[in-house]
Amino acid sequence: MEIKNKTSLVEKIKNFFMLNWWLVWLSNIAIVVFVFLATSAMEAQNEEIKDLLKKEVSGVVFLGQNGQVMLGEKTRIDASANTSFQSAIKNNLMNYLIIDAQKLTNNYRIKINNADELFDSYAPFNEFGKNFMALNNDKYPNAFGYFKTLLTGAVQAIKEDTLPDQIVPYNSSVINYEWNDKEQTFEITVNAMVNTFVYNAVLNNYEKKEGTIQIRAKGFFDLTHNSPINPLGIKYYELGVTNASKK
């Protein structure tokens, strides 16, 4: 009895599909249409993601302090020949290392006795040392010595009264740039043409002279260790400055 019932059920199912074959085809067509629409939607979504990623990779949005928005293209930095990279280093060195007596002493309000006091009191040197010098790099252990020599020289110039009261750059150029591909380091020499001003107590005015400041530096850059202050991740391990003088 049980076997007969099972056989009858199978026969009923067969008969149903034989009499309603159009339902099977309709179901198959519906499945095909569903798969096609789902695949098309996924392809469209993938294309949108690709376009978004392409925009993200190829460009960067700049938002200025005044609210101005700009879209710039991302480009590979060729440190061996890119003149914009050289100019960035030049400007960085000039911004921090061109000094005068009024700047270092806050218009002669403070007295500086040594390199440590200068580092603590003069914010640009403090910022430069912390963000741009390779002070804690085991590969360049002499970086600290070069930086301290720079500070000591500035203190000595103030004590000997040889540093002009004011120094104003009006032009500059990179006169030498070399890239060491093996070590991934650079060497640069910058000349800054400046106007120097020295106070004449007898005439009660400033005497203007023209001069040249030369800055020599060796360093490297690492974008993985950049910061808002140092977006290129520039680090110097050797420095030398020939400053302008009152005499």
pLDDT higher than threshold 50 for residue 1: no
The confidence band for 6, taking pLDDT boundaries of 50, 70 and 90, is very low
Residue ranges of the domains in the chain?
A: 1-75, 83-244
Lowest mean pLDDT among 38-52, 57-71, 147-161, 167-181: 57-71
Phi and psi torsions of 70, nearest 5°: -135, 145
This model's pTM is above 0.85: no
pLDDT for res 122: 97
The per-residue pLDDT for range 91-131, each reduced to its tens digit, is 999 999 999 999 999 999 999 999 999 999 999 999 999 99
pLDDT higher than threshold 70 for residue 64: no
CATH 1.20.120 fits 83-244, yes or no: no
How far is 106 from 240, CA to CA, in rounded Å?
24
119 close to 129: Cβ distance less than 8 angstroms? yes
